[in-house]
Amino acid sequence: MRPTLFRVSVLLFLLAMLGCSYTSVGHLQRQPWILNTEQGLEMRFWNFLYIAESSEGKYRITGLAMPRAENLPENLNWINDLRLAAYLSDDQGRVLAQDLQVLSGLPLDPGQGVPFTFTLRPDRLNRSASLQITFGYNMTLTPHEHYLQQDSAVAEPSEGRSAVFFAHEGALTKI
């Protein structure tokens, strides 16, 4: 009977902890939510140029993610995987709504960028709280389109450099 009581206690503790967790972007660069105004947000590997709009309880963000070529390896110019995210948060960094766009198999072109559209649907908003916007990403860069499909012996990088580059900036789950 005691092992069952212990298991129930652990289960209740875990459920309580999950109920207290939230998603935070407090560690990321954020900007105030301003409607119908061109804005830009600079992150470590991407610049986000965007316009925020609102209608019928939905918040839409359209824009262009521009890679910061000066911070990226020169020889890696293929985006094998890119996950862009937009986060609507309160002034404390607590995420109120988020959306994700998944892309793969495209050239890394600093002059062209990657277009995006996000639709954010917050469950509820505090009218007095100021809203903020930020972005996140996961990206994997390789030298060319077929690099990860090559035989591993052929795909070894020269001079000890990695031929795959991964970068991440995104929300955290806090308890």
DSSP per-residue letters across 71-105? GS-TT--EEEEEEEEEEEE-TT-BEEEEEEEEEEE
Overall pTM > 0.85: no
Assess contact for 30 and 23: CB atoms under 8 A. no
Give the separation between CA 138 and CA 99, rounded to whole angstroms: 14
Cβ neighbours around 95 below 10 Å, total: 21
pLDDT at 153: 46
Q: What is the pLDDT along the chain (175 residues), one digit of tens a residue?
A: 456 766 655 555 544 455 567 788 988 999 999 999 999 999 999 999 999 998 887 899 999 999 999 999 988 999 999 999 999 999 889 999 999 999 999 999 988 999 999 999 987 776 667 899 999 999 999 988 777 765 454 545 555 456 899 999 988 877 5
The whole-number pLDDT of residue 80 equals 92
Q: Decide if 29 contacts 41 (C-beta within 8 A).
A: yes
**In this predicted structure, what is the pLDDT of residue 6?**
62
| Residue in the block written with tokens 């992150």 | 43
